[in-house]
Amino acid sequence: MNKLLLTGVFKPYGVTDEYGEALCSMELLYNQVTREQGIHSPRSNNLSFGLYLLAENIQTQSTVLDFPSWKNFTNEVDKGQYTHIGISFIVPNVLKAHRMASYIRRHAPDIKIILGGHGTAIPDLQNMVDCDEICHGEGVSWLRNYFGEDTNRPIIHPAVRTSVRSFVYGAPLMEKAGTILSGVGCQNSCSFCSTSHKFDRKYIAFLDTGKDIYDACIKDEEELGVTDFALMDENFCKSDTRARQLLAEMEKKNKAYTFSAFSSAEAVTKMGVDFLVRMGINLLWIGVESKADLFEKTKGIDLHALIKKLQDNGITVLASLILFLEHHDKENIHEEIDWAISMESDLLQFMQLGLNPGTRIYKEYDEKGKLMRDFPWQRRHGQDTIWFNHPNFTLPESSDYLRNAFSRKYETHGPSIMNMAHTAVKGYLSAKKAMAKREKKKLVWNPEKNAYLKQSGAKPDLYMKLRLEAMKKSAMKFRPALKTMIKYSPNKEAAEKGHMIIDLFNQTFGPVSIKDRIMDFIVQSTAIVENLRFKINGVIMRQPPVIRTVYKDRSRKNTQESKNNGPIKSASIAEPVNAAASLS
């Protein structure tokens, strides 16, 4: 009988050694969004969601190994119980995949090796990593087909948390969230986008309808105890019918779930802010990419106005910009960075133009001979140096410009977490005011028109009342950290902003509760330790615990254990960190 092990690459992550790099960790925000913000950076390790989705959707007996150490991995291979091992990796982790595959060949030559994830786009991969199969494209169908299973069975959505080891200022303040894997790929086909090209520039839905997504949320709530969700979908707002169905379903069942999502500017504009607030979107990742307006998705859109409107309504915005595009020179790159900073998004990702195999831009640069073909794969992560010949920048310069861009954003607008707290409280206030105004004018939500319209005999908007409570809960999670944000502010302006936010919280929500005072004390205490660790070591890199999930009984309920944390309550091929670099 076939038995499959699905594994991510081995630890340590975010450490420079012969297999990986310090600037490529398993942390999304710290790695490439809140870089240079030190102690203010929220920390967490995102699970390899794709592996759980795969295991849940094949009948072949399988085990998922997430965040293994080298020993965890070799012990698993040495058990001699697997017929197949699938290794998932992104491009910069290819040397880790190589080491793992070599070990399997030496110690268990009968095991078939399958490679998956964004790393499979590497040309001539089979000559770099010993393997039997390479899974390109969407993995569930591929695996079902490979094992001779029915490829048309409905998708079972796995209950998976977004992350482990979540901290801010060394304290476990971040709310637990579930992951919703509604689909992969994006039809927008931006030339640089790995995720779009991996799925042939098409969107493939795992959850076809809003009801399907709602059911996945319910499952996560029951099994993981979460009401907040990360929508892992390259461009969630693009599927507007499904999003509207999801809102209708939540309204029907009185559920005010909250979501973070990736969406392109044109799709966000089409959905409209009123809809997004009503649906509970509290964070949006929007690729603004370039002042030069090079991509269809941003054409004709006033991005400054869009971002301001979203934030004024309580939606945190993470904007992302690409540096070292072809037209950039030593003057206009500063204009580009200043343009992105001037949007005042809560969070801002700077990513070097990453020429990833499989994309249109990779092909173009390769054909023009601009690509540095011998550049080490493990260094191609977009947070150190570029790996092509740019007419105006050397490689070391590209590293400096990038780091300075992050510092400029931090110095200009203070810690991202402070901005997020501000957006959350502003949003609660504006939603409350808008609701009162609508009641006065007898405006009610019209799902067909996607707008609030006048209606005689209008009843109070009970769903928005529920939504307001959820917005309050989202804002209140920042409160115990506000004083700490001020204490470690980078400058006077940021400290003043912090005080203004505290005043706004007090005016909006009244005096601080005893519970929040205790939490405040705890955060201030853990921050002292965290700050000292930063000062002494320059960096804090926590390694996530291994998580091993066995999918034995194909009818359901799996066993999961975590080495460092003990058993986890209950129980997808793509690593999230750099894949997310090119989203929306």
Give contact residues for ligand SF4 (rule: CB under 6 A): 186, 188-190, 193, 195-196, 234-235, 264, 287, 297, 582-584
Nearer to ligand SF4, 63 or 235 (CB): 235
Minimum distance of ligand SF4 from residue 268's CB (angstroms): 11
Nearer to ligand SF4, 41 or 584 (CB): 584
Please, are residues 168 and 158 in contact by the beta-carbon 8 Å criterion?
no
Nearer to ligand SF4, 190 or 319 (CB): 190
Residue 533: exposed, middle, or buried by beta-carbon count in 10 A (0-12, 13-18, 19+)? middle
Minimum distance of ligand SF4 from residue 323's CB (angstroms): 15
Minimum distance of ligand SF4 from residue 71's CB (angstroms): 37
Please, are residues 283 and 318 in contact by the beta-carbon 8 Å criterion?
yes
Please, are residues 234 and 202 in contact by the beta-carbon 8 Å criterion?
no
Nearer to ligand SF4, 93 or 195 (CB): 195
Residue 351 tokens, joined: 């990513």
Q: Which residues contact 394 (CB under 8 A, 6 or more apart)?
A: none
Please, are residues 310 and 284 in contact by the beta-carbon 8 Å criterion?
yes
Minimum distance of ligand SF4 from residue 287's CB (angstroms): 5
> How far apart are the C-alpha atoms of 262 and 255, rounded to whole Å?
22
Nearer to ligand SF4, 177 or 268 (CB): 268
Minimum distance of ligand SF4 from residue 234's CB (angstroms): 4
Minimum distance of ligand SF4 from residue 354's CB (angstroms): 12
Indicate the residue type of 243: A
Nearer to ligand SF4, 11 or 297 (CB): 297
Nearest to 216 by CA among 187, 186, 249, 244: 249
Widest pairwise Cα distance in the chain: 76
Indicate the residue type of 269: T
Please, are residues 549 and 510 in contact by the beta-carbon 8 Å criterion?
no
Minimum distance of ligand SF4 from residue 242's CB (angstroms): 16
Which residues sit opposite 411 in a β-bridge? none
Helices (H), 167-263: 194-198, 210-224, 240-253
Nearer to ligand SF4, 171 or 232 (CB): 232
Minimum distance of ligand SF4 from residue 320's CB (angstroms): 9
> How far apart are the C-alpha atoms of 171 and 6, rounded to whole Å?
32
For 167, the enclosing helix (H) or strand (E) is: strand 163-167
Minimum distance of ligand SF4 from residue 181's CB (angstroms): 15
Which residue shows structure tokens 């995102």?
A: 46
Which string of b and e fits 205-242 if b means at least 16 CB within 10 Å?
bbbeebebbbebbebbbebbebbbbbbbbbbbbbbeeb
Nearer to ligand SF4, 7 or 582 (CB): 582
Residue 344: exposed, middle, or buried by beta-carbon count in 10 A (0-12, 13-18, 19+)? middle
Nearer to ligand SF4, 31 or 584 (CB): 584
Nearer to ligand SF4, 21 or 234 (CB): 234
Nearer to ligand SF4, 286 or 494 (CB): 286
Minimum distance of ligand SF4 from residue 474's CB (angstroms): 25
Minimum distance of ligand SF4 from residue 365's CB (angstroms): 17
Nearer to ligand SF4, 4 or 186 (CB): 186
Minimum distance of ligand SF4 from residue 274's CB (angstroms): 23
Please, are residues 557 and 174 in contact by the beta-carbon 8 Å criterion?
no
CA distances 194 to 89, 119, 221, 520, 577, Å, are 14, 10, 31, 42, 13
